[in-house]
Amino acid sequence: MIFRDKASVAIPASCNGQGSKAELELQEAITYYQTYKVGQKSFSFKVYKNDDIKDALEALFEKKCAYCESEYSHIQPMEVEHYRPKGRIKKENITGYISPGYWWLAADWDNLLPSCIDCNRKRQHKTKNAQVTLGKADHFPLHPDSNDPRTEASLVNETPLLINPCNEDPSQKLIFANINDKPIAISLSKNGLSKLQVDSSIKYYGLNRPNLIEARAKTHKALLRSLMDIEEDLKLKETVVSQNIHRAAKDAILDPIENRLRGKLKYIKDNFLDTSNPYSLLSNKMFNYWVETLKSNVIQVVNK
């Protein structure tokens, strides 16, 4: 999960203000919910699935899932996910639902995110020893200080326990622990609200589902290989620098090594670090740690 600024793309016409399709649909929904009784069917919203909304979400998230950073476009259609569920809300730790959900946000641009099926839907996932049910579905857990019912007026007092990558920077809260070469998502904080939010996001978005860990592990392995390859050149460079030979002769050996290093770093930037790549949060965390470990050696090359 990485931060994306909603203001960086134009609000789609379908849900942009007065007279928009979303606004007209909302008027119908307001009438519908004036006589709504618990247990009644939810209003059937359609505008949020309009093509211009999907296109804007795809552009904003570069065809990756807002939650797990997987590329989905070549294997499945994007799901337009409601950060705050529109129809009903699953009660935490007890059976049943809160109905209706945040219906007035059904086509609110700030409430929409692109998601893969596994993050968005409640689905069974196989682990080594068991089957587990994961996926956000109708979940929207709040901090215990936030009280139900959930109304338009109470929104400002809500403290959601799920991270929205358009409202905050997940890189400040979420890190990866390398356990047996498997990058496992964990909270950076050991306690407090931040840990509650990360733990809850990992649980409901399924950020440690087995197949996703496997996919992240492939990125981890490939990036590690590229970094080790660079380290070989850095060692070679160090050896040449320490040799007592004429400056011109030394430069003649060093120039191609440095050119090669720059090329390899560009490859890493283009294929791992750029936000368009899957699991770029993991790659950037790995790369920053690696640079920090090697200190000035790499920075000199990067800046040259």
**Could you list the residues that contact Zn ion (CB under 5 A)?**
65, 67-68, 116, 119
d(CA 64, CA 67): 9
Find the shortest distance in angstroms from Cβ 129 to Zn ion. 24
Nearer to Zn ion, 202 or 301 (CB): 202
Find the shortest distance in angstroms from Cβ 136 to Zn ion. 9
Nearer to Zn ion, 67 or 103 (CB): 67
Is residue 56 classed as helix, strand or coil in its secondary structure?
A: helix
Question: Among 219, 115, 202, 101, which Cα is nearest to 151's?
Answer: 101
Nearer to Zn ion, 68 or 161 (CB): 68
Nearer to Zn ion, 184 or 294 (CB): 184
Residue pair 102/90 in contact by the 8 Å Cβ criterion:
no
d(CA 82, CA 63): 17
d(CA 114, CA 157): 26
Question: Among 147, 291, 162, 268, which Cα is nearest to 219's?
Answer: 268
Is residue 132 classed as helix, strand or coil in its secondary structure?
A: strand
Find the shortest distance in angstroms from Cβ 304 to Zn ion. 38
Nearer to Zn ion, 42 or 120 (CB): 120
Find the shortest distance in angstroms from Cβ 76 to Zn ion. 10
Angstrom distances, CA of residue 209 to CA of 77, 199, 220, 278: 20, 13, 16, 16
Is residue 275 classed as helix, strand or coil in its secondary structure?
A: coil
Nearer to Zn ion, 116 or 142 (CB): 116
- For residue 22, give both structure tokens: 């979303």
Find the shortest distance in angstroms from Cβ 207 to Zn ion. 8
Find the shortest distance in angstroms from Cβ 215 to Zn ion. 10
Question: Among 94, 98, 109, 79, which Cα is nearest to 138's?
Answer: 98
Find the shortest distance in angstroms from Cβ 69 to Zn ion. 7
Q: What's CA 271's distance to the chain center, in Å? A: 17
d(CA 40, CA 33): 10
Find the shortest distance in angstroms from Cβ 116 to Zn ion. 4
| Helices and strands: H and E segment counts in the chain | 8, 8
Nearer to Zn ion, 65 or 268 (CB): 65
Taking the alpha carbons at both ends of the chain, their separation in whole angstroms is: 31
Residue pair 64/278 in contact by the 8 Å Cβ criterion:
yes
Nearer to Zn ion, 25 or 79 (CB): 79
